[in-house]
Amino acid sequence: MRESTRARNFRPIAAGRAARSPLGGALLLGGSLLLGGSLLFAHPAHAARVSLGLGAYEDAPHSGFFGSDPVPPDPKYRTGPAAERAAPTNQWYSSLMFVDPSFPIYAQPMTYRATTQGLELGLPDRQFDSPDGKRREVRYPHRAAMIVEPVGFAARPPRLSDFSDWLAEIRWDGPNGANLSARVLHGDPFSYYQCACTEIRFAFAQSATRLVDPASGDPGIAAVEIGSHAYAIYAPTGANFQWSGDQSLLLHLPKGKGYFSVAGLPDARSGTARQLAKYAYAFPVDTRAEYAYDPASSTVSTVFRTTTQAMQGEEHTPLMGIYPHQWNAMASAPQPLFQYDSPRGPIRVIAADQFTTKLTYHGFVPYWPGLESDKDRKAVDRLLVGDAARSGQLFETHGYGTYWVGKGLGAAAQLMNVAAAEGEGSIQRKMQATIEHRLQSWFDDRHATHFMQDARIGSFIGLPEEFGSVTHMNDHHFHYGYWLMASANVALRDPAWAAPDHWGGMVGRLVDDIATARRDRKDFPHLRNFDAYAGHSWASGDQEIFDGNNQESSSEAVNAWAGLILWGEATGNRALRDLGIYLYTTEIHSIHTYWFDLHHTVLAADYGKPFASMVFGDKYAYNTWWTEEPRQILGINAIPITPASTYLGRDPAYVRSLFAELPADVANYEKHGGSDGTPKDIWQDVLASFRALGDPASGLAHWSDQGNVEAGETRSHTLFWLLSLAEMGPPDFTVTADTPLYAVFRRADGTRTYLAYDAGGTPIRVKFSDGKVLDVSPGSLARSH
């Protein structure tokens, strides 16, 4: 099994093709040398260098004397429309393109697996697992209740043949034009089939109890109970079923009617199987999530729309299963027909071809204003001088790829912002120059650290790879989010640097890799990591994991979308800004639902933890990829700390409860043999910053300027964050504004601090929802109490 994401601080450098050299310890990177900190690079003859503004990238892997670049996996199992577009990596069904059989596909509530034999399907049962007293997880693993298989032809391996926002179509081809296709969707208990064949076999995993027998008055329906769940098969008029014992059912299709559907039922009543027959022939052909950001109300509306084709009769209305994060955001939720249990909580099923959600966008500003207390300013300034002098070390932590360099860029950007806020112009300019130099050293294609456009899969990849970012297409939004955040902070101060004919074109390729809005491109897929229906991102590129796709560091996903908002604002690209606001707002709402369970609808009582640190297709878990240590389990869903992290304080009482439980969790970890040399104050800066969103004084009291520093942090930034919250109070989510870049804080005495930033070229007047008005000059941050 291949694992996504990364073992960060305690994993050896993951530099893809890096190896130690006998040449005085030089590091070999493909056809290049890292010698004494300098990266030397020579272009192989077969790789074309594509210029873009002042930058450039390669259009093929390097293959030099010292080795070859890693390449993305081959999405060879594609056909039809799916083969005409960029490969949709990082989705819930992506393994279909890479391996036969596929890994389990968790559509919610149904689970599937495509094999050469046919399509496995089932409704999962809940399992709780705590193998060592430290890890905990609640799973709904795939167990095949039946296999839908074509009869009469030997099928070739299944391939992804089409897809839309939450629909995947799988196709099996045979000789002489014989074929079978299946469409599966998020939230839909049905799977839909069309075939150029006459017979289909349903092979049951165990003896089935007949609930509805087509021979007893319902000729188009066969319903069975298999184990603890029930299923129904819906055939066209004129079809015939033939039983072969209790573990096999043969469907004979009439000429010209090569279609049928299969549903997992919410119960084992025959009446339920008959009730669903009304919707069994409304076959989905397209799914779309269409969003709109309204600045005046600071809201994001999303319409989820399914287009169907009536295969039999006149009914076009499908069933749509509403996830908890969607249900909580519906203005007027309809009465559900029924519901299913799932790892995402209850899936409520309605009969509709569309529904709308509305979420409030709680903004952020690029940086916070200077501290108002002389004492506080001096405390930060003392650390700032030393952090600036050591800033080169931010890029020398654990690796030379896009993740660790990205973390260095992110830390440098926040250090630059602190210097700017505190009026330390020389340090601010130094950090800006450092960031620009680091970015350009990758963007100019003259170093071993560079980018390549891979046409086969449709991706802009950074080399050397880290954590499977190339060979498994993992974590692009995590990696590139740091780059976007740093680039945007530069662009706010130096618009010329960000121009398309300068370095902005290269940043634009990073944007396109993770946030292409179009659905028809061959060079990049639509919203690579983001699952529009699930409401959050996925990290594994090839999805070759039995537990389905996964996301661990939800906060790094948020960082990517925050960077997108800032880059859109800095470059005047409102469409991109609005896309960022949609992604940022939706991802945060899903984090509050599935990671932190603020609505108390997802995490089971026997789970015994107040949050999920990892969300998979079939489970949620208290763990990380690299450690079971509780402070890092909590902190991985907080890094990096930036002004866009205020959403972590949405429920201050919840934040306080997290930290009230943390000492006991650490003690339990050590009790079960977890003491492995981890520093006693590991990530104390990240945790203090998170804690301060619930209680600023407590956050400040739990931080030491002599303590552990997380790889993407600096002491200056942490202290500035803590003292700022002590002065302004925690974030106030009861007040919104009619501009994207705003924030409101409220002290215990009721005093509010209002912030707004104007990234444009003309003054703006910002109206807050409580009546406050703030005038902001171009390119500046305004503050008012």
Buried b (16+ CB within 10 A) or exposed e, 153-184: bebbbbbbbbbbbbbbbbbbbbeeebbbbbbb
Active site residue: 173, 422, 454, 556, which one? 556
Residue 552 annotated among the catalytic residues of the structure: yes
The catalytic position among 169, 512, 531, 552 is 552
Please say if 713 is a catalytic residue. no
Within 339-421, residue ranges assigned H as helices are: 374-389, 402-421
DSSP codes, 586-631:
HHHHHIIIIIS-TTSSSS-GGG--S--SEEESSEEEE--SS---HH
Q: Does the active-site annotation cover 69?
A: no
For residue 749, what are the contacts with CB-CB under 8 A and spacing of at least 6?
none
User: What is the rounded distance in angstroms from the CA atom of residue 432 to the CA atom of residue 438?
Assistant: 10
What DSSP element (H or E) covers 452?
strand 450-454
Contact assessment for residue 476 and residue 537, using Cβ atoms and an 8 Å cutoff: no
How far, in Å, CA of 681 to CA of 197, rounded? 65
Residue 276 DSSP code: H
| Crossing angle (nearest 10°) for helices 505-515 and 425-443 | 70
- How many C-beta atoms lie closer than 10 Å to residue 228's C-beta? 10
Nearest to 542 by CA among 76, 170, 85, 169: 76
Rg of the chain (C-alpha set): 27
Angstrom CA distances, 785 to 89, 753, 756, 774, stand at 47, 5, 12, 10
Contacts of residue 345, Cβ cutoff 8 Å, sequence gap at least 6: 323, 324, 593, 594, 601, 602
Q: In a 10 Å sphere around its CB, with 0-12 CB exposed, 13-18 middle and 19+ buried, how is residue 76 labelled?
A: middle
Q: Which residues contact 235 (CB under 8 A, 6 or more apart)?
A: 214, 220, 221, 222, 241, 251, 253, 260
Query: Which residue among 169, 475, 544, 758 is the active-site one?
Result: 475
Find out whether 661 and 669 touch, Cβ atoms under 8 Å. no
- Which residues does the annotation mark as catalytic? 475, 552, 556
